[in-house]
Amino acid sequence: MDVALLHWPLERDRRTALAAQGSPRLLLIDADEAPPLLVDCLEDWVRLPASQGDIDARSAAIAHRAASHVAERPVLDPDGVLRSGSDWVSLPPVEARLLESLLDRFGAVVSREALARSGWPSGAPGRNALDVHVLRLRRRIAPLGFVIKTVRSRGYLLERGNALLEVESA
Amino acid sequence: MDVALLHWPLERDRRTALAAQGSPRLLLIDADEAPPLLVDCLEDWVRLPASQGDIDARSAAIAHRAASHVAERPVLDPDGVLRSGSDWVSLPPVEARLLESLLDRFGAVVSREALARSGWPSGAPGRNALDVHVLRLRRRIAPLGFVIKTVRSRGYLLERGNALLEVESA
DNA sequence: GTCATGGCTTCACATCCACGAAACAGTGGC
DNA sequence: GCCACTGTTTCGTGGATGTGAAGCCATGAC
């Protein structure tokens, strides 16, 4: 996982945002500033000026921690809470059922028909409903680091996302 | 909790021992040495020479982490006093019973029905009473650093609040 | 190569319902 | 009486779900 570098106290807001989504971050402290209290285990700081070696070393350490904190696959509570590591999101009923199906075959393709059946056991609404729910599900689980890949004309597939991309797009 | 200071790589063995028993530690890295990969969240390092301020700051950060790891959940006295660390608040009867339920399943969802049963064993009043009491409970426990999250259409969930917000408001 | 098609994505709405929050009122202890 | 606790009414906000339509893109026809 990539570690975000940010200046303190200049990028205070960005730090808050990254912390909220559980992204690892390294604060670069301006020469005369006091470092803030670290809020979690995915945060660290170095005082400027710092050697590239030290920055890299701390980034690597955080990345290492982050990697050991994330699980290969998430867990779905009966209450519709999807957990991965210490993070969680709640899924509305339809999306929870869809995700349950995808999780049953984690890493493998689930056909649109099978998904529709699990999402709406008593009959699916319009054809587009599934597409929209997959879209919403994608956005909901993205912060946990999981992605739903499309396999054209075959179905969908749930897998662990590339953590690096997430952080960059944030 | 006290943070052990030790020289790296001189006291390599001591570091291993401290890590094994879960004691927080700060490594003082000799000028030209590469820092080791941190083994857990209770470890950190500074490169020598370092200012006393930086050493203190990192020690404090580690100590803070260590402390926050033990105060994960609050304790509810039989007499309705909720304690977390050195802080406490007193809860009125209904709210104490609600919180007791949430505490039994700390970090997991408790349904509105289950909450209503524990709050009013002899039958719940109007449907909105629960909402109002949860609202009041939220405000009461906020100063202790805990939050009650809503999981829409499923129930409520008690967890530790965002440490960042606490620190900022402090 | 160009083009059309089907499959999927995304957005914009609309509806419905759960929950949040304030304001008010009754009750009982001190 | 004053105040804490409790419950109700009422209104507002935002989440959950579904639909229609526009757009994107790979595939296959030509």
- By three-state DSSP, how is residue A144 classified? helix
What's the whole-number mean pLDDT along residues B90-108? 93
Q: What is the pLDDT of residue B167?
A: 47
Q: Identify which of B34, B46, B39 has the alpha carbon closest to the alpha carbon of residue B23.
A: B39
- Is the distance between the Cβ of B135 and the closest atom of strand C smaller than 7 Å? yes
Backbone dihedral angles phi then psi of residue A54, each to the nearest 5 degrees: -65, -40
Chain C footprint bases within 7 A of protein beta carbons: 7-12, 18-23
Q: How confident is the model at residue B102 (pLDDT cuts 50, 70, 90)?
A: very high
Q: What is the pLDDT of residue A86?
A: 77
What's the whole-number mean pLDDT along residues B80-109? 91
CA of B153 to C1' of C17 (A): 10
Q: Identify which of A144, A170, A169 has the alpha carbon closest to the alpha carbon of residue A158.
A: A144
Nearest residue in B to A86, CA atom:
B107
- Quick check: pTM over 0.95? no
CA of B154 to C1' of D12 (A): 22
Q: What is the pLDDT of residue A67?
A: 72
Cis geometry, peptide bond prior to residue B49 (ω within 30 degrees of 0): yes
Structure tokens at B107: 């970090």
* Residues 6+ away with beta carbon under 8 Å from B106: B73, B158, B159
Average pLDDT, chain B: 85
| C-alpha–C-alpha distance, residues B94 and B121, integer Å | 10
Interface of B with A (CB under 8 A): 34-35, 37-38, 41, 44, 47, 53-54, 57, 60-61, 64-65, 108-109, 111, 151-155, 157, 162-164, 167
> Under CATH, which number does the domain B75-169 receive?
1.10.10.10
Interface of A with B (CB under 8 A): 16, 19-20, 34-41, 44, 47, 53-54, 57-58, 60-61, 64-65, 77, 79-81, 90, 92-93
Please name every residue paired with B151 in a beta bridge, in sequence order, or none if there are none. Answer: B155
Contact B33, B12 (CB under 8 A): no
The number of beta carbons lying within 10 Å of the beta carbon of residue B2 is 10
Q: How confident is the model at residue B47 (pLDDT cuts 50, 70, 90)?
A: confident
Most confident among A48-62, A100-114, B37-51, B56-70 (mean pLDDT): A100-114
Contact A55, A32 (CB under 8 A): no
Nearest residue in A to B170, CA atom:
A37
pLDDT in tens, A83-131: 987 789 999 999 999 999 999 999 999 999 999 999 999 888 888 999 9
Whose tokens are 């009966």? That residue is A78
Q: What is the pLDDT of residue B109?
A: 93
Q: What is the pLDDT of residue A165?
A: 41
The domain spans of chain A are 4-69, 75-169
Tell me which DSSP letter residue B121 carries.
T
pLDDT: is A106 or B21 the higher one? A106
Measured between beta carbons, the chain A residues lying within 8 angstroms of B35 are: 54, 57-58, 61
